Amino acid sequence: MKKFYEILGVKDTASINEIKKAYHAKAKQYHPDLNPDNKESEAIFKEVAEAYEFLSDREKRKEYDFRLNQERQEFRRKQHEEFKSKQMATWAEVLFGALLLFFGIYLISSLVTARSNK
């Protein structure tokens, strides 16, 4: 999903006036007439225009914000799942290490006892 707020350099809580002001500044900066033969500037100008088209229209912005929020929630859910799986791996490693330590001590103790009895 394109990052329209980032493209315009505004927060997702920006007012329509802030969005409009940011759009005009970016459009002027990257306008093809002011940057002839600059393909990168032209591409940025098109992104800025698209971002403004979505964020200046109340319904389009509402839909965009909804989808952006869903994307953020999905990202957080995946991070949480990854954290839980790493945490479970850590507990398994600790348990395995404790069992190895216990049986290692038991084995050494048995060997020492066996040698002492000879």
Q: What is the pLDDT of residues 13-52, one digit of tens each?
A: 999 999 999 999 999 999 999 999 999 999 999 999 999 9
**DSSP tag of 36:** T
- 53: which 2 tokens? 């088209």
Q: What is the mean pLDDT of the chain?
A: 88
Q: 7-15 long-range contacts, Cβ below 8 Å, gap at least 24?
A: 7/47, 7/48, 7/50, 7/51, 8/48, 8/51, 8/52, 8/55, 10/55, 12/65, 12/68, 14/55
Of 8-17, 68-77, 89-98, minimum mean pLDDT range = 89-98
Instruction: Return the pLDDT at 94.
Output: 76
Instruction: Return the pLDDT at 83.
Output: 76
What is the rounded CA–CA span in Å between residue 12 and residue 57? Answer: 14
Q: How far is CA 9 from CA 5, 24, 37, 47, 98, in A?
A: 6, 12, 25, 12, 53
Instruction: Return the pLDDT at 81.
Output: 83
Instruction: Return the pLDDT at 93.
Output: 78
Could you tell me which CATH class the domain 4-116 is placed in?
mainly alpha
